[in-house]
Structure 1
Amino acid sequence: MASKHVNHIEPYSPQFGTMIPLGTQKFMRTCVIWQIVRFIAINIRMTILILKSHH
């Protein structure tokens, strides 16, 4: 039984099939201040949802 050769795909090459983050998107993913703001916003929304479910 012969094994087939596996073609390896380099990351971020056109054959890889994923999108490459550009300017604004890369900034939003790496900005600590934005991450803190999003964390607080999500926690406020979760708290409101939990408080509504207890009534």
Structure 2
Amino acid sequence: MSASEDIVFTCPHCGETMTVNPAMRDALFSNGCVVCGAAVDGDAFAPAEQSCT
């Protein structure tokens, strides 16, 4: 997975935050948060910031 594909997921219900790839983002849309089970929408995802190395 390249850094350009990284997406940060933040559950609006429980606050869980994790970096996911596009396939996991799709699974979260379909199944809800893996921690609390709440439904999520597009607002729960943001592009991961890339660090300069």
Q: Pick the TM interval, shorter chain.
A: under 0.3
Q: Could you say which structure has the higher strand fraction? A: 2
Structure of higher RCO (CA pairs closer than 8 Å, 6+ residues apart): 2
TM-score for both structures, normalised by structure 1: 0.24
Q: Could you say which structure has the higher helix fraction? A: 1
Larger Cα-atom Rg:
1
